[in-house]
Amino acid sequence: MRLKILDKYLHFYNSEDSKLSIKERYLTLSRSFLMIMLLITIVPLSITTALSFFQYRALIRQETINNAQWNAESTRQGIEAFIDKLRATIQIISESYKYKDLSVQENLDRVFENLKSKNKGLVDLSVIGTDGVQQAYSGPFNLKGKDYSDSLWYQKTLARKVYVSEVFMGYRNMPHFVIAISKKVTGEDGYWVLRASIDTDTLDQFLAGVRTANLVDVFLINSKGVLQSSSHYYGNVSDQSPVVVERLPHNKSISTEENNQGTKAMVNVVGQINETPWFLVLEQYGYADKKTWVIFKRELLIIYVVSFAVIICLTFFIASFLTSTVRKAEETRESILAESEHANKLASIGRLAAGIAHEINNPLAIINEKAGLMKDLLQVSNDFKYKDKFLLQIDSMENAVKRSRAITHRLLGFARRMDVKLEPVDLNSVITEVLGFLDKEAAYQEIRVDQDLQPELPNIMSDHGQMQQIFMNIINNAIDAVGNGGIIQISTRQIDTKTVRVDICDDGPGMPPEVLKKVFEPFFTTKKGSERQGTGLGLSITYGLVKKLGGKISASSEIGVGTTFTILLPTGSVSTGGRDI
Amino acid sequence: MNKTRVLIVDDEEEFANTLAERLCLRGFDAFSVGNAEEAISAIKGDRVPDVALLDLKMPGLSGLDVLQMIKKLEPGIEAIMITGHGSTASGIEGMKLGLFDYLMKPVDINDLVTKINEAMRKKLQ
C-alpha cells in the first residue's frame, strides 16, 4: 500500500497540467520524504519507548507489592511471636502452680514481679476463682474481689481454655488486652483462670519498629474495623478505621490491594494475626513514588526527547539531501533532453536547409547565367543609350545572386556533415589568425581588441579549420555588437589538465534574458534591417561545432554592460560521432 | 590552335544553354545536353569534348553515373561537377571516380573558366 503523501507528490509530479512551480514541487517532495522518514523512525521509537515504560512499570509495581507483603508478613510474625511467648509463659505458670497456691497474694506478687522483669508491657496478673470473682491481683490497680463472671472475655476463656482478647478499657480505664488461661481446680468441678493484662503501647512499639521507605501507616484492627493500636492517620485505639471489613481475610493468607488516595497510588496489605482477634493493616506508597521509578521515567523521557531531536535533525538532513539529489538528477535529465532536442532541431533544420538550398541554387544559377550572358552580350555590342545603365542593373542582379549564394552556401555548410579532423591545435594561434582576418574591419570601426592569451597554453586535440570558424563567428558577432569605438576582450586560460577556457567579452548593449535564451537557435537573429544583416545561423553553427568538438559554449549578458561568450574545450581527444547537424 | 571543347550535361536546359553560350563567347567550343543518354551519344559521336561539366542530380542517371561512363568510354575527358548540392560525400565519391573538381551553383564564370583551363592543362600533360 502506497502512502497517501507519496501519492500526493507523484500526482503533482506527474500531472502535466499541474500548476505547481518547480520550487513548490520540490518542497512537496522534500515534505514527503520528511513525513515518510519521520513515520518510519518516530513510530518504532515511540513503540519501543512505550514498551519499555509499561514493562518496567509492571516490574516495579510487582516489586512494590512484594515488598509490602514481605513487610506485612514480617511484622505479623513479630507480633505472633510476642503473643505466643506471653501465652506460653502464662500457660507454664498455670501448670506449674496450683490454684490455691497462686490465690495467695504473696505467691502471685512474687510470680508477677518475676514475669514483669522479663515481659515488657505486662500491666498486671490476676487469679479468678471458679465463681468468676478475682481471688488475687498483682498490679497497679486495686481490682481484688471484682466479679468477672458476666464478662465476655471470662466466658470465652472458660470455653476456649486459652484466650487472647481484643483491646478494651475495662475496670482499668486504659486500653489493654488480656491473655487468659482457664484450668480445672484439682479435686473440684470448677475452673479457675489465670489472667495477664498487657498494655497496648507494647503493640504500638512493635508497629513503630516497622521501618520501610514507602511506609504510610501500619496498625491493628479487629474484625469490626475498630483500631486495636494507634494509627498515624485514622486515630487512636477504639476509633473506627476506614478498612472495609467484608474484605478481611479469615485464614493465614494476606490480601493485597492497590488503590489511589488523592494523587497517590497506595498498596494495602491485610493479614490476620494467628490466634488473636486482630488484623494487621499495612499501607505503603505504590510504585509511582519509588525513586527508581521516578529516575527511570526521567531518563526514558530524556532518551526519547534526545532521540527524537536527533531523528528530526537527521531526517531534515536526509530529506534535503535526497531532494537535492533528485533535483540534480532531474536537472541533468532535463539538460540532456534539452540538448538532445536542440540537436534534433538542428538536424531537422539542417535537412530542410539542404533541400531548400539545392532548390534555390538551381534557379539562382539560371539567373546568374542569364544575367552573365546579358552582361557578356552588352560588353561585345555597340554602345547604345542605356548600355551603362543596363550594365549597372546587371551588376546589381549579380550582387544579389552572390548574396543569395552566400546564404545558400551557408545553409549547406550548416547542413553538411562535419567530419572532424583531429590534430594538435594552438588556440592562441587560431585566435591570432582569426583576428588577422578581422583586423581591417575592427580598425575601420575603431574597435579595440584586448588579448589576454595565456602564454604556453597547451595544444588541444581538435580541428583547426572548425576552430577558426568558431572564433570567426563569435568575434564577428562581437564586432557587430560593440559598433564604433567598442572594446572586445579575448582571454584564454587552462582550467585544469583536461579543460581550456576561452572568454570573448564585448561592451556592447547586451541582451535581455529572452534574447539570450534563443541566441543559439537556428535562424534567430537580432541584426535584421542592419547593414550587416544576419542569417541567424552563425551562432547556431558555432554551437554545433563546439559540441561536435566535445566542448561547451555558453553566453551571459547584461543590458548596458555587454555580452560574454565562454567556450570550454577538452585538451584531449574528443568523441567524433560524425552526426549530421 | 583548336578551341577547348566543353560539354555541359544538365537537366536545367535554361542554365545549360546559357552557360554554353557564355563559354562560347569566351572562346570555348561549348554545347549542352539535357540528360545522360544524350551525353553518351555525344561522346560516342564526332563531338568528343575535352572537358565535361556535369550536374550531380538529374532525372534517370546521375552525374556520377555519367562520369563513370565517360571515364569508361573516353578516359581522357576531364570532368567538373557543378551542382546545387553541398554534399562533401558526393564530391569525394566523384574524386575517387576521376572527377577533376567540384563547384557549387551558382558559379562565377571566371572561376569556371579557370577550372576548365586547369582541367585542359591536366589533359594535355
Average pLDDT over residues A72-80: 90
Cβ separation A412–B12 shorter than 8 A: no
Domains of chain B (ranges plus CATH)? 5-124 (3.40.50.2300)
The pLDDT of residue A10 is: 53
Residue A487 C-alpha from the chain's centroid: 58
ipTM field: 0.86
Q: Which residue has the higher pLDDT, A282 or A545?
A: A282
pLDDT-derived band of residue A133, with 50, 70 and 90 as boundaries? very high
- Residue bearing the bigger pLDDT, A521 or A182: A182
Percentage above 70 pLDDT, chain A: 88
Up-side HSE of residue A491: CA atoms within 13 Å toward CB? 10
Q: Do residues A197 and A163 lie in contact, with contact meaning Cβ atoms separated by under 8 Å?
A: no
Q: Where are the alpha helices (DSSP H) in A103-171?
A: 105-118, 152-160
Q: What is the mean pLDDT of chain A?
A: 84
Mean pLDDT value of segment A463-481: 84
Q: Which of A362, A373, A403, A412 to mutate to test the interface with B (most CBs of B within 10 A)?
A: A362
Q: How far is CA A438 from CA A98, A425, A492, A502, B39, in A?
A: 152, 20, 19, 18, 46
Q: Tell me the shortest Cα–Cα distance from A406 to chain B, in angstroms.
A: 10
Q: Do B106 and A413 touch (CB under 8 A)?
A: no
Answer whether 0.80 is exceeded by the pTM: no
Query: What pLDDT shows up at residue A467?
Result: 86
Instruction: Name the B residues in 31-70 with CB < 8 Å from any A CB.
Output: 57
Distance CA(A294)–CA(A8), nearest Å, equals 44
Minimum distance, in Å, between the CA of residue B98 and any CA atom of chain A: 22
Looking at beta carbons, which residues of chain B come within 8 Å of A360?
A: 84
Confirm or reject contact between A72 and chain B (CB < 8 A): no
Query: Does the beta carbon of A365 lie under 8 angstroms from any beta carbon of chain B?
Result: yes
* Closest CA relative to residue A509, chosen from A492, A491, A530, A493: A530
> Do B106 and B83 meet the contact criterion of CB atoms below 8 Å apart?
no
Q: What integer pLDDT is reported at residue A575 of this predicted model? A: 39
Rounded to an integer, what distance in angstroms lies between the CA atom of residue A329 and that of residue A334? 9
Q: What is the pLDDT of residues B105-122, one digit of tens each?
A: 889 999 999 999 999 998
pLDDT at res. A1: 46
Q: Is B93's Cβ below 8 Å from some Cβ in A?
A: no
A366: nearest CB among B15, B83, B89 = B15
Q: Which of residues 534-563 of A touch B (CB under 8 A)?
A: none
Return d(Cα A142, Cα A219) in angstroms, integer: 31
Q: How many CB atoms lie within 10 A of CB A209?
A: 10
pLDDT tens, position by position, B74-108 = 999 999 998 877 666 677 788 888 889 888 888 99
Distance CA A415, CA A450 (A): 34
Domains and CATH numbers, chain A: 97-199 (3.30.450.20), 418-581 (3.30.565.10)
Confidence (pLDDT) at A526: 64
Region label for A426, one of left (φ > 0), alpha (ψ between -120 and 50) or beta (otherwise): beta
Q: What's the rounded Cα separation, in Å, for the pair A370 and B14? A: 8
DSSP annotation string for A178-204: EEEEEEEPTTSS-EEEEEEEEETHHHH
- Res. B29: pLDDT tops 90: yes
- A562-570, strands of its sheet edge to edge: A448-453, A487-496, A499-506, A562-570, A552-558
Radius of gyration of chain B (CA): 13
Instruction: Pick the residue from chain B with its C-alpha nearest to A399.
Output: B108
Q: State the pLDDT at residue A481.
A: 86
Answer whether B27 touches A (CB < 8 Å): no
Report pLDDT for A4.
Answer: 55
Share of chain B above pLDDT 90, in %: 51
C-alpha pair distances (Å), A562 with each of A472, A506, A552, B38: 19, 5, 20, 61
- As a three-state string, the secondary structure of A480-547 is HHHCCCCEEEEEEEEEECCEEEEEEEECCCCCCHHHHCCCCCCCCCCCCCCCCCCCCCHHHHHHHHHH
Using the Cβ of A423 and the Cβ atoms of chain B, whether some distance falls under 8 Å is answered with no
Q: For residue A440, what is its C-alpha cell?
A: 581591417
Q: Tens of pLDDT along A496-513? A: 888 999 999 999 888 888
- For CA atoms A528, A534, A537, A543, give the dihedral sign: negative
Residue of A nearest to B89 (CA): A417
Least confident of A164-173, A216-225, A563-572: A164-173
What pairing do the DSSP bridges indicate for beta strands B78-83 and A460-462? unpaired
Question: What residues of chain A, 312 to 331, have a C-beta less than 8 Å from chain B?
Answer: none
Residue A235 has pLDDT above 50, yes or no: yes
The percentage of residues in chain A with a pLDDT greater than 90, rounded to a whole number, is: 31
